[in-house]
Chain A
């Protein structure tokens, strides 16, 4: 028995903002933003729920010197906390973050513990 059918899409970083804006316009709920470090890359997952249908957009960036990512917190305020988490744990940088705790959201012993600088 399938739990639920999920739509998982790999997208380019340049498409991210437009895709999220479209989800916001369609009144989808932001479920989560999370990252996974796979080898020397970081996969960032943006998950949405619309009438109990799960959609996930994935962008992949280099783990070393990752490019600046456009914040989606102007569409979803909830995104600000997820983006602060990624900033603190993975060292990712977000442009246009509406609520930026500047690395002070998480109490941590290392600078970017989930993506340590070599």
Chain B
């Protein structure tokens, strides 16, 4: 230190130099401290300018703050449609429920615009017969004669006689539900690399037909937990070229991760197009997704899936409002982003290669709703199908999705899951009660990432989970 402070020259020059050096040193130390303790915050704007600051139980149910007055008015109309509880006709309001249904309103499954619970009325079961080799995708009007299912894969998921492709386990008075679905849980044990034991649960279904017989053995089943509905307009606005650009169906780059687009039936265009929505990406857009949910889940005929003679129980205005509602729900911004543990977890997320499928940043393109167009977003999905291994497999194909493939779910808002809905679970059937369990169920293409996590020490595992909770 003394050597540094010994300067030649006049005393005044010496003092001035000393002062300047002190100033510079302070500056350097400050900058270093700033980097370490107060780093420049990464963007909390998970949904671009549609993001809201809201880490409450209502964090999934806020309108995007950048809507025009007209869009906001329609969003509020859509909010009413989304929460409307249908009842059996005739009725003065909300008539038309059923005759077969899973639940009576959108909101009673997508609770507070988030997930549902793995319970009757929320968790539904899709069914089909094994695919036949010659089958092709097509839309057959005869399907509607007796079966309300609509936007389903008809080629590789042939409807089950008497059941169609979705079990509506509720019905209006006097109509027998299609089947009774009983859910039980079985447990398996495992250990982390450090020897810590864990338990995983998975569902066991007992499905009974109205005649008391069990579901025939050859029927393929796929349980589906209602996913959150916010931010979906942004996913609709991601250019198809972007999604196809992320695809690597034959794993040409040899990283063990494929990424396959689903090609699904567009009812309005009457052709196969890119699938984006649903747990296997079996719906092409939010209009069709919503219309299918109305007809399949609530038994509400609508302009996309009308009843006999073209009759409808909701009009186009209602369907459009509900669709706009799901397009324009804000994405909640992140929390605790500058927490060093969260930052460490974010690095580990990348080291474990989670971000190969859970793509952090994407750009939206053109969209009819300006508020969601041309946004930089952080959804943590590629909207592609991936083989998730036998542990998660439903064994039921859905268009190009095989029985082991699922679409990468977006992770934005993940940390709010149990704030919005306490005790709710993760993954396609709600089997994972914690984020650790959700990761440990990953297999197939995600096996290496899962193993990376399983082999981590407790501190690193905690950090990774803290990062997920900050989303």
Tell me, yes or no, whether A binds B.
no
Q: Which residues of B contact A (CB under 8 A)?
A: none
Interface residues of A (CB under 8 A from B): none
